[in-house]
Structure 1
Amino acid sequence: MTWKPRVVALDLDGTVVQWIDGVGQASTQVSPAVVAAVRAAYDAGATIALCSGRSALGMINAADLLGLPDEGDRIWLVVGNGSTVMTWPPLEAVHETTFDAGPVVAEILQMHPDALVAVQERGVGYRLNGLFPPGELIGEMRVVPLDELLAQPVDRVIVRDPGASVEDFVRAAERLGLHDIEYVVGFTAWMDIAAAGVNKASGLAYVCREIGVDAADVLAMGDGRNDVEMLQWAGRGVAMGNALPEAIAAADAVTASCEDDGVAVELRRWFPA
């Protein structure tokens, strides 16, 4: 019997969504070819799971660009690198893992005292200790003191230092020897921190348990460090042509780049027009 994915798990930025002029989520687009290919998979009965480091609001924006879901239907959102699993619409959290972020943030701030810290306010925006560079976060921004920001357990915390490099953050994580948490450094000096064992794979595994699908029947696609576990977990993990080396090493195959509609190239193998 020919294999065909029952679940299509898609990273967003750099996979489905193209960045325009490198300014982040404020200026993004999805190519018509990718929209059509995702629609073909959806119409064929595949469950679409969007899996991103974005907040829920940012993921809803991407779902709208894809034209998903149809009226009366819902799609799965693996939000904040797996820290929360939601369905849409309406926006509903069905699974969440929280932790005390205070100690690890304090350690990072000892090395990067000017770093910005943000916590998601679900469906609204963010609480943060200072404003991030334009276009990097979506929603309402509420600046609060750091002790108030981390007074309660959170599902995820973002640490960002515009004055540092991605290499600085990678080295900082290595020197700190961060443990009992899950962390990933992005494409800039940006670190997502969640509870131990929480990542896109854990969130996607929850989705699959809920709908009765094995990992072997999942196609996952991504390009970043935060996609590594998901690409390894899925029955077929596909890295984008523009992916970081860590993502490529974790994948079963490599497709074209985001700019060259790599998602469409892969999906058309399994869901022809």
Structure 2
Amino acid sequence: MPDRGWQPKLVALDIDGTLLKWVDGAGSTHEEVPAAVHDAVQRVLTAGSYVVLASGRAPHSMTAIADQLGLRDPHVPDGRLWIVASNGSVIVRYPPMEIVHEETFDAAPAVHAVLQRHPDALVAIEERGVGYRVSAPFPEGELGGESIVTRLEDLVSAPVSRVIIRDPQATAEDFVAMAAELGLHGTDYVVGWTAWMDLAPVGVSKASGLRYVAEQLGIGAEDVLAIGDGRNDIEMLTWAGRGVAMGQAVQEVRDAADDVTAQVDEDGAAIELDRWFV
């Protein structure tokens, strides 16, 4: 743990389950930032440190959260933010929305391998600025924006930055076991709280996205505080100088972190920020 005099130059924050509280039994979060979290983030900005949202969400569903938090770049007149979207595959400046870096890959082999094991699973690809193109409708509230039903072969016919595979009839443990057995060569993956899998280019994660942003800002990993709660936060928590897991995180995430804060329902992110920004 850094000594008490340390203060992060960059704070990386996951959104769902870190800033936003879960809706019981709905597989989604309340789209309202709690006051304690908002105020803690404002103290970070007042101190002159950067705040970067790092999420599995698509860019268009992250900007409203940035607006709620009152995020800005404290060092430039126009205040344009950096956002790490789609688990690190897409780097955005905002406002206005500008994609400054994107990693893509051929997802077809991995998608077909997963569907051989879970033939009824749903597949989604981001439709920039609109929502998602999907093989069939996802459970209500799980995807932001509009859903456009599209033939599977059309979904994976060209390189993409990220693929979501979801099987409402399976469990997260089913997907973890399946991914380990398949290997999924040429593709990185992360399994969520449910039977939800994100496929991404090899080597791409929230950590790689944050590394890109930090290099642009001249900040080293040792000066980064990262807070998250999901398996897609593990690389980020390991990379940052201080990685903190939310209290409700699974053991695999807690083990990757330097420390564990309170649960999201107890505003754990605000509690951690208040250790370094008063």
TM interval, short-chain normalised = over 0.9
Which position in structure 1 is the counterpart of 2:60? 57
Q: Tell me, in whole angstroms, the C-alpha distance in 2 between the residues paired with 1:241 and 1:169.
A: 23
Give aligned pairs, total: 272
User: Match for 2:139: what amino acid?
Assistant: P
Shift of 1:225: 0.6
Over the residues paired in the alignment, what is the CA RMSD in angstroms? Answer: 1.5
Gaps of 5+ in 2: none
Q: Tell me, in whole angstroms, the C-alpha distance in 1 between the residues paired with 2:112 and 2:185.
A: 14
Q: Is the 8 A contact 1:77 1:88 kept in 2?
A: yes
Q: Determine if the alignment matches structure 1 residue 211 to structure 2 residue 217.
A: yes
User: Match for 1:165: what amino acid?
Assistant: T
Q: Out of 110, 113, 133, which is 2:116 matched to?
A: 110
Q: Determine if the alignment matches structure 1 residue 18 to structure 2 residue 24.
A: no
Q: Is the 8 A contact 1:84 1:96 kept in 2?
A: yes
SS at structure 2 position matched to 1:228: helix
Which position in structure 2 is the counterpart of 1:264? 270
Higher mean C-alpha deviation, range 2-11 or range 166-175: 166-175
Q: Is the 8 A contact 2:13 2:19 kept in 1?
A: yes
SS at structure 1 position matched to 2:42: helix
Q: What aligned pairs does 1:73-112 form with structure 2 within 5 A after superposition?
A: 73-112=79-118
Which position in structure 2 is the counterpart of 1:120? 126
Which position in structure 1 is the counterpart of 2:11? 8
Which position in structure 1 is the counterpart of 2:197? 191
Which position in structure 2 is the counterpart of 1:135? 141
Q: Tell me, in whole angstroms, the C-alpha distance in 2 between the residues paired with 1:75 and 1:243.
A: 27
Q: Is the 8 A contact 1:224 1:246 kept in 2?
A: no
Q: Determine if the alignment matches structure 1 residue 164 to structure 2 residue 167.
A: no
Q: 1:194 to 1:117 in 2, by over 3 A?
A: same
Which position in structure 2 is the counterpart of 1:40? 43
User: Match for 1:60: what amino acid?
Assistant: T
Could you list the per-position Cα deviations for residues 155-206 of structure 1 after superposition, in whole angstroms to 9, with x for gaps in the alignment? 0000001111111111111121222211000000000000000000000000
Shift of 1:26: 6.4
Could you list the per-position Cα deviations for residues 125-161 of structure 1 after superposition, in whole angstroms to 9, with x for gaps in the alignment? 1111111000000112111101111111000000001
Q: Determine if the alignment matches structure 1 residue 239 to structure 2 residue 245.
A: yes
Q: Is the 8 A contact 1:166 1:186 kept in 2?
A: yes
Could you list the per-position Cα deviations for residues 55-92 of structure 1 after superposition, in whole angstroms to 9, with x for gaps in the alignment? 11221122123222389312211111101111111111
Q: Determine if the alignment matches structure 1 residue 223 to structure 2 residue 232.
A: no
Q: Is the 8 A contact 1:24 1:136 kept in 2?
A: yes
Gaps of 5+ in 1: none
Higher mean C-alpha deviation, range 131-140 or range 176-185: 176-185
User: Match for 2:207: what amino acid?
Assistant: A
Shift of 1:30: 1.9
Could you list the per-position Cα deviations for residues 22-66 of structure 1 after superposition, in whole angstroms to 9, with x for gaps in the alignment? 424463332110110011101211111100011112211221232
Q: Tell me, in whole angstroms, the C-alpha distance in 2 between the residues paired with 1:157 and 1:97.
A: 12
User: Match for 1:196: what amino acid?
Assistant: V
